[in-house]
Amino acid sequence: MEKDLGNYRKSYEKGVLLLIDTPENPMELFQKWFHEVDKHFPEDETNAMTLSTIGIDGYPKSRVVLLKKYTYEGFIFYTNYNSEKGKAIANNPNVCISFFWQAAERQIIIKGKVEKIAANLSDGYFESRPRGSQLGALVSNQSEVITDRNILEQKLNKLEVDFEGKEITRPNFWGGYIIKPIEIEFWQGRANRLHDRIRYVLDKEYFWVKNRLSP
């Protein structure tokens, strides 16, 4: 099987990113871009991000997860701590996340270190989830091999009966992580592949240093 994609072409012409217009803290620019994309392209899942980890087998792996909160300190998402990504993070906390907002011709690439958030914060978010999502966290031994989907459906049905009229508490194997960034790059598509790239790097004194990169 072979397909030549060399004739795929698109000219990016929707925006401009100049160094002089960028704030000193990259989280302020992240918030600005996030709000703009969320407002003007509501059909997209703005908080969908690609998380890349180094697996215990030594290979990198990327998957899409959902950003649930961001602060000046970092980016928070939730998952099963015993999942493949959870085991990878436990083995190597250095990760990369990226946002690709195709409609806005923008992408953000973030390198950072991951750590678990406080248990009470994970409890609070778990309580806010729909009941079905709470049960789903209990049903799935994430990343483990199963022989049939019916196993999941049967387990869910049993849990629905077991927890009928009862509060569902967060299992200790499920919770949140925060990614604390050390480098953030903002990419704005431009014509003729001369894209705008502004990179912020956190120095030893915990100040952000920004530069323009060649496309």
Active site residues: 193
List all residues 6 or more positions away from 137 whose beta carbon is below 8 Å from its beta carbon: 80, 126, 129, 170, 171, 174
In the 8-state DSSP scheme, what is residue 87? H
85's enclosing H/E stretch is: helix 84-91
HEC profile for 140-172?
Answer: CCCCCCCCCCHHHHHHHHHHHHHCCCCCCCCCC
Calculate helix-pair angle for 131-139, 150-162, nearest 10 degrees.
Answer: 120
Q: Minimal CA–CA distance to 77: which of 159, 194, 175, 181?
A: 175
Structure tokens at 57: 């087998």
